[in-house]
């Protein structure tokens, strides 16, 4: 029986084929799952989907009508899945609950360092043989304060690196992580963290209660010269409000690996098309902003773990086993 994998990047394909080598034929498609592409899955009991798949009610209905019984999502986050509909349709949905948190934490740091030390601008200048330093001044991070919103696996990995830089650590989470406390992290209310941090980084999941966690008021409460990094989910920030703050000259640097309207844009080549998204178009014009297209997880190590776990999730489904990666059925 063939498994259909949607949204496969070229680098990812050999890893997927290797992970499924002892199991099933796997067909890799570069198109992402959405209402237009869902009919391709007709006749496939098992499909695998990428982080930007649309697994809303309409798509799940099309999949179920075509005979799909299992969705193996190749990501940790599952904010793109309508779990209630999947459950009603009797589907199994599994995700990858663990893979290298270092991939994302290290990339969040790459963004933080790049915006702080103006690396992209400096590189563009030297390509032009412009060797001036004006406008490239950054700040030492040693002795400054990092505020980590969400101190789970990735937040902890980020905090360990911050600790290595000699930063003070503030944390905010519904559950304190003892490993972060051991690093000297002090848990404080969100308002205090935002007001006191030189560097604010987001590592909470996107859920109804965390949507626009950084809304206009929260962004205003941050320091004018703060660095803001989001490598979690775009919907955690009210992007229109962020653009408003940037227009008034606030923030030393903003690094975004995710964007709330990224579906249909990120992972695709849109370079020859007219840009329809005015918010994103404005965002990338600010000299202190760096936007990348959801690549924080994209290391050989993390992608290798993701596809191996996905293959295991499929095998578990076929052999009637249940693991912690199963989102529905809920029990």
Ligand X SMILES: NC(=O)c1ccc[n+]([C@@H]2O[C@H](COP(=O)([O-])OP(=O)(O)OC[C@H]3O[C@@H](n4cnc5c(N)ncnc54)[C@H](O)[C@@H]3O)[C@@H](O)[C@H]2O)c1
Round to whole Å and give the CA distance between 296 and 41: 28
Q: Does residue 149 sit in helix, strand or coil?
A: strand
Answer for which of 209, 269, 273, 324 binds ligand X (CB under 6 A) is 209
Which of 56, 66, 138, 205: binder of ligand X (CB under 6 A)? 205
CA-to-CA distance for 132 and 314, rounded, in angstroms?
Answer: 55
Residue 269 and residue 295: Cα distance in Å, rounded? 14
- Beta-bridged to residue 56, according to DSSP, are none
Residue whose CB is less far from ligand X, 68 or 103: 103
The interface mask with ligand X, positions 267-306, x = CB under 6 A, is ---------------------------x-xx---------
- Enumerate long-range contacts of 35-43, CB under 8 Å, 24 or more apart: 35/59, 35/62, 37/6, 38/62, 38/63, 38/66, 39/66, 40/4, 41/4, 41/6, 41/66, 41/68, 42/66, 42/67, 43/67
Of all residues in the shown chain, the one whose CB is closest to ligand X is 152
For ligand X, the binding residue among 82, 173, 238, 262 (CB under 6 A) is 173
User: To the nearest 5 percent, what fractions of the chain are helix, strand and coil?
Assistant: 35, 15, 50
Compare residues 63 and 303 and give the one whose CB is closer to ligand X: 303
Binding mask 123-142 for ligand X (x = CB under 6 A): --------------------
- State the minimum distance, in angstroms, from the CB of residue 3 to ligand X: 23
Catalytic residue numbers? 233, 262, 294
Nearer to ligand X, 63 or 218 (CB): 218
Contacting residues toward ligand X, per CB under 6 A: 76-77, 101, 104, 150-155, 173-175, 203-206, 209-210, 231-233, 257-258, 294, 296-297
């Amino acid at each position: 029986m063939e498994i259909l994998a949607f949204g496969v990047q070229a680098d990812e394909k050999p890893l997927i084929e290797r992970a499924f080598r002892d199991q099933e034929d796997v067909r890799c498609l570069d198109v992402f799952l959405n209402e237009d592409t869902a009919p391709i899955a007709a006749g496939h009991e098992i499909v695998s989907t990428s982080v930007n798949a649309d697994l809303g009610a309409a798509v799940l209905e099309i999949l179920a009508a075509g005979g799909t019984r299992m969705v193996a999502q190749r990501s940790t986050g599952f904010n793109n899945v309508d779990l209630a509909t999947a459950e009603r349709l009797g589907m199994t949905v599994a995700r990858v609950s663990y893979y290298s948190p270092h991939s994302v934490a290290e990339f969040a740091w790459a963004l933080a360092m790049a915006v702080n030390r103006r690396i992209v601008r400096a590189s563009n200048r030297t390509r032009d043989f412009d060797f001036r330093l004006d406008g490239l001044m950054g700040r030492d991070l040693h002795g400054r304060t990092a505020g980590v919103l969400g101190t789970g696996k990735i937040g902890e990995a980020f905090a360990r690196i911050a600790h290595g830089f000699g930063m003070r650590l503030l944390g905010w989470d519904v559950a304190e992580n003892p490993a972060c406390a051991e690093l000297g992290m002090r848990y404080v209310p969100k308002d205090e963290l935002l007001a006191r941090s030189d560097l604010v980084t987001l590592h909470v999941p996107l859920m109804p209660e965390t949507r626009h966690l950084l809304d206009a008021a929260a962004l205003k409460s941050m320091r004018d010269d703060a660095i803001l990094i989001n490598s979690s989910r775009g919907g955690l920030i009210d992007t229109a409000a962020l653009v408003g703050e940037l227009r008034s000259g606030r923030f030393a640097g903003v690094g975004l690996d995710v964007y709330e309207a990224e579906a249909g844009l990120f992972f695709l080549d849109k370079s020859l098309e007219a840009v329809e998204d005015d918010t994103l178009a404005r965002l990338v014009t600010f000299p202190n902003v760096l936007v990348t297209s959801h690549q924080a997880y994209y290391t050989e190590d993390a992608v290798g773990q993701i596809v191996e776990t996905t293959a295991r999730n499929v095998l578990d489904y076929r052999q009637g086993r249940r693991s912690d990666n199963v989102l529905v059925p809920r029990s």
